[in-house]
Chains A and B, each alone.
Chain A
Amino acid sequence: QQQVKQSPQSLIVQKGGISIINCAYENTAFDYFPWYQQFPGKGPALLIAIRPDVSEKKEGRFTISFNKSAKQFSLHIMDSQPGDSATYFCAASPGGYNKLIFGAGTRLAVHP
């Protein structure tokens, strides 16, 4: 119940294309859903986050879509660029304390 399932494991997209990464969870107590981006040799950095009372959040080229009834959320990267090549982690935080439970990660490669 504490798991967050993330897919795909890896993704190759052409420059200018749309990258889509999906996550699913079971625990209805989760109430905060961030996405982190990690480059090799660096720590993860927050990209965008959403609460379950919102179905979509957009920040620049990055959009989170959230489906509370299906317990799924996804990250869309529009106009993907080679600089977006990184590992992306979805995460969820249960109510009560700021503990992040990460998905397995998606390695995104954007080819020029």
Chain B
Amino acid sequence: DTEVTQTPKHLVMGMTNKKSLKCEQHMGHRAMYWYKQKAKKPPELMFVYSYEKLSINESVPSRFSPECPNSSLLNLHLHALQPEDSALYLCASSQDDSPGYEQFFGPGTRLTVL
């Protein structure tokens, strides 16, 4: 199984809502990532988890809160988002967080903030 799954596929939320994005992989990977991708732009790294610990936070606003409950699961909790946060949120995983390990991407959650 070389698949990263993400739920939901689409999410519409108001600026006062609290919602969560979920990512799951069963490849035994120990590194997991959140990326944000705006339309017609490249993915931008937000967070990296390595062995269930947060190892990189790319200065992401605190209204985005990542969580890694176990080695297969990664969540992104959303609160008080702004319309400019509307984007495709991609999850990825790799065997390890060392350079050179292929990152496998999920299909993304398309988020719209009203």
Contact = CB atoms under 8 A, between A and B. Distances in A.
Interface in A86-112: 89, 93-105
Given A43-B107, A51-B100, A99 B45 contact: yes
A98 B55 CA distance: 11
Interface centre among B4, B43, B45, B108 (most CB of A within 10 A): B43
Contacts of B31: 98
Contact of A98 (B4, B90, B100, B108): B100
Interface in B76-110: 90, 92, 94, 96-108
Interface of B: 4, 31, 40-45, 48, 55-56, 90, 92, 94, 96-108
B41 A104 contact: yes
A94 B99 CA distance: 7
B28 to A, nearest CB: 16
A100 B90 CA distance: 13
A46 B97 CA distance: 16
A97 B98 contact: yes
A45 B107 contact: no
Contact of B106 (A36, A41, A43, A101): A43
A44 B94 CA distance: 14
Nearest to A31: B99
Given A43-B105, A102-B43, A93 B100 contact: yes
Interface in A5-46: 31-32, 34, 36, 41-46
Interface string A51-68: 100000000000000000
Contact of B99 (A36, A45, A98, A103): A98
Contacts of A32: 99-100
B79 to A, nearest CB: 24
A102 B35 CA distance: 11
A93 B104 CA distance: 15
A105 B106 CA distance: 18
